[in-house]
Amino acid sequence: MTVGGRAVEAMVDRTWVPSEILGAEGWGRTASLGLLDLNVAVHSDDAAVLGVVEELFAPLIVVGGTAQAVLIGSAGAEDDRCYFVATDEGIVVRTPARTIAFAHLMFELNQRAITHSSAALRMHAAAAVVDGRAVVLPGPMGAGKSTLVAGLVQRGFAYVTDEVVAIDPARGVVRPYPRPCSLGVPPAALAPIPWSPGEAAAQYLGASGFVPADRLGVPAAADVPIGVVVLPTYEPNAMTTITPLDPMALLAGVASHTFALGTPGTLATLATLLDGVPGFHLVSGDLDEAVDGVLDVARLGTRR
Amino acid sequence: MSGVAPVDATTWVYAPEPSQFVAMADGVVIASGTEIHTLNLAAASVWAACEERVQLARVADQLAVEFSADPTVVRRDVVAAARGLIDVGLLAVAAGEVAPPPAFSKPLLQPAPACSACGPGPDYEHAVLVDVGAGVLAIGADDQVASALEHALGDRAIGRIDHPEDRPAYGVVLPSAPSRGPMTEVSRLHRGPDVVLRSRSPERVLDAVLAQIATHLIQPGEMVLEAMSVGRSDAVVVVPIPKNRVAFERAAARAGLRCADIPSTILAADEPTVVTGAAALHPDRRALAEVAAARHHLEGEPDGLAWGRYRVASVLVAGPPTVASVLGEMAPSVASETTHGDLDEVVARLRALPVRSGISLATVIRMLDDGRRAG
């Protein structure tokens, strides 16, 4: 298989020159996606993947402007096909599994959003908005951030993000980043989500459980101040408890999920942003109870 | 065996510079690499005190003073906190167990020994280095006393030598508990190998060492006499140091008189005036008071004369009432230009003093009373 007159197999094995693929026959691109401070377009030789990417990132589609290219494509004979993801820095992954390539594409897009938005203070967190204030949910992978924020959105909160909360340090506001929500296998407590990707797209999505933000509920559209911070911990079968955090524990808890903490001044900026913000630790094994708990404390944030 | 040395009060530590930290009302949040640590106020105090290479005992002594807490308890808590901080990488054990002697450009002052029968003198845990302008005095002391002295002297304390091999200029020995056996060990001030003051009260020995340091900081027009000032709040009589100081002081106390803490008196020459104590050092004596209170006391030591400046009612000598007698009986054994000055000047100053012959408590009282009537 050749693209742009060169064998893709040769390209993916050697120095990568993506410009030779961009615009090549059989390749297309998505609309530009506004990932915080970065505009990206996904290029592929498969219209199905372009379609599912545009569906997933629909709230983030922007018009005009230049966009960095991230490529997802395939190479090789039908019985020996490999899928690859590449950027202008080279091959990200080469794999026989479409789902793995797609997972890497989603990871790469998110990483680029993080690294290209350094003006903002960024943390590994989900967030949703109620009454004009953000409920920020920092936590490690597996803490239940995405599921909890999905539960909040289904109760009327606006969806900010499930993975990266970006805060403008100058204005102290959370910026919307309604990327696809990664729910895996959605828990039964969530109402059915009205979205079913086509058969071809499903071959890429696999069991990733990505859901477009605008199918989950209402994506947040404007910057909002922080109302309350809740550090969630998912523990199967655990009784739901929500415990206030003192300012020091809150700062430490949030800092441990903050990106680029080595940048001078980040911790002090975070301390300023969290000054006076109520903080809580939520432990729960039940989504409805967890959402109820967050709803209770979110009212504290809206009174500030 | 992990090969890691045990951490105790003698361990030297330092705090590697953290990436970032934020001080809060209840403690400190520290970002160290990708790790986040929270320290409560107590642990934060230990961490903050270790910004530079320091021995944990010194940290404990400082914090004990700062928080007016039991030094023994504080030392135990500091060591425990330090172990925790070392475990998480916020403190590191400094290489080498013994601190190198601090570098200083001034000469070490070594008062000449007055007595060859005293042996080499005690061994000290530390020598506190004190800047006295013309040079540096080394003051031997145990760990707690050394820390308290450093606190008292502030910027004048410019360093510390651990386990000094050379004999310090002065040394303080304060027993912690009653000694075993028939001999009762009391608190002592050494000058070189010599004992210049024995006291049942650790406080008086610590005041005396400060006063000895002050004798190295005399101002133009002042001179030092190795003598005792005895008197009241309005005036004193200067006498050679009695052979049995305690008995003399007790007798004086019964007569309503008090004696200066020190064996040295700084004499201002412009008028017959003595300066006792070490007020010129402006020492912060709180840490010393706490250390002294924790040491062994014996009953029966009268209070000393308060530090200050006193009119001299008379100078009593055993010999004829001459300048030669004053020099012979009271000239300090510390051979130093700093304290002697030019001999002609010294003689001129001594001639102005009301010198009398005959040393007795009755004479002291009479001179004071005469001076009061004359005043």
Which is more confident, A150 or B3? A150
The mean pLDDT of chain B is 81
Residues B164-180 have pLDDT tens digits of 877 788 899 988 876 55
Report which listed range, A1-15, A148-162, B78-92, B360-374, is most confident: A148-162
Q: Beta strand pairing status for A279-284 and A224-234?
A: parallel
| Structure confidence at residue B285 (pLDDT) | 86
B26 touches chain A (CB under 8 A): yes
What is the rounded average pLDDT of the residues B62-78?
Answer: 88
* CA separation for the pair B256, B305 (Å, rounded): 11
Note whether B24 contacts A248, CB cutoff 8 Å: yes
Cα separation of B172 and A110, whole Å? 68
String of DSSP letters for B30-47 = EEETTEEEEEEHHHHHHH
Residues in chain B: 375
Q: Which residues 235-274 of chain A have a CB within 8 Å of chain B?
A: 246-249, 251-252, 255-256, 261-262, 264-268, 271
Residues B240, B244, B248, B250, Cα dihedral to 10°: 150
Cα dihedral B25, B27, B33, B36, rounded to 10, equals -90
Residue with the bigger pLDDT between B116 and B314: it is: B314
Among A36, A176, A39, A177, which residue's Cα sits nearest to residue A119?
A: A36
% of chain B residues with pLDDT over 90:
13
Give dist(CA B254, CA B207) in Å, integer. 23
**Confidence class of residue B270 from pLDDT cuts 50, 70 and 90?**
low
Q: Between B254 and A22, where is the model more confident?
A: B254
Asked if the model's pLDDT at residue B309 lies above 70, the reply is yes
> Chain A: nearest CA to B30, how far in angstroms?
8
CB < 8 Å to B26, chain A: 246-248
Q: Is B33 in contact with A265 (Cβ distance < 8 A)?
A: no
Subunit contact B21:A249, Cβ cutoff 8 A: no
**Given pLDDT bands bounded at 50, 70 and 90, which one contains residue B51?**
confident
Of A91-95, B85-89, B101-105, which gets the smallest average pLDDT? B101-105
Shortest alpha-carbon distance between residue A262 and chain B (Å): 6
CA-nearest of A167, A135, A141 to A260 is A167
Percentages of chain A per state (helix, strand, coil), in multiples of 5: 35, 30, 35
Q: Which segments in chain A show pLDDT lower than 50?
A: 1, 4-6, 13-15
Q: Chain B: residue nearest A265 by CA?
A: B20
The mean pLDDT of B282-308, rounded to a whole number, is 83
Within 10 angstroms of residue A191's Cβ, the number of other Cβ atoms is: 13
CA distance B148 to B289: 9
Cβ-nearest to B26 among A246, A262, A268:
A246
pLDDT of residue B183: 58
Do B26 and A247 make contact, defined as CB atoms within 8 angstroms? Answer: yes
Return the SS3 of A151: helix
Contact A267 B22 (CB under 8 A): yes
List the one residue out of B278, B112, B268 whose CA is nearest residue B205: B278
Q: B327 exposed, middle or buried (CB, 10 Å; 0-12, 13-18, 19+)?
A: middle
**pLDDT score for A18:** 61
Q: How does pLDDT run across B194-249, given as a tens digit for each residue?
A: 777 888 888 888 998 998 888 888 777 777 888 889 998 889 999 988 877 778 88
In this prediction, residue B111 carries a pLDDT of: 60
* DSSP H or E stretch at residue A129: strand A121-130
Residue B300 gets the label, from left (phi > 0), alpha (psi -120 to 50) or beta, of left
Query: How far from each other are the two terminal CA atoms of chain A, in whole angstroms?
Result: 61
- How large is the average pLDDT for residues B99-115? 56
Mean per-residue pLDDT, B148-155:
89
Query: Which of left, alpha, beta for A131 (phi over 0: left; psi -120 to 50: alpha)?
Result: left
pLDDT at A105: 95
What's the whole-number mean pLDDT along residues B357-375?
Answer: 83
Using a 10 angstrom Cβ sphere, with 0-12 exposed, 13-18 middle and 19 or more buried, the burial of residue A300 is: middle
Q: Which range (A115-129, B90-104, B253-267, B340-354) has the least confidence?
A: B90-104
pTM: 0.57
Taking the CA of residue B24 and the nearest CA in chain A, the distance in Å comes to 7
Q: pLDDT tens for residues B15-38?
A: 887 668 899 988 999 988 778 999
Closest Cβ–Cβ partner in A249, A252, A264 for B20: A264
Chain Cα centroid distance, residue B216 = 13
Residue with tokens 């005293």: B118
pLDDT of res. A122: 94
**pLDDT reading at B99 higher than 80:** no
Please check whether residue B333 is in contact with residue B225, taking contact to mean a CB–CB distance below 8 angstroms: no
Q: Quick one: which of A17, A19, A39, A21 has its CA closest to A30?
A: A39
> Residue B50 — left, alpha, or beta (φ > 0 → left; ψ -120 to 50 → alpha)?
alpha
Is the pLDDT confidence value at B306 over 80? yes
Q: What is the CA radius of gyration of chain B?
A: 24
Give the ranges where chain A is alpha helix by DSSP (H). Answer: 8-13, 47-56, 98-115, 145-154, 199-205, 213-216, 247-255, 266-274, 287-303
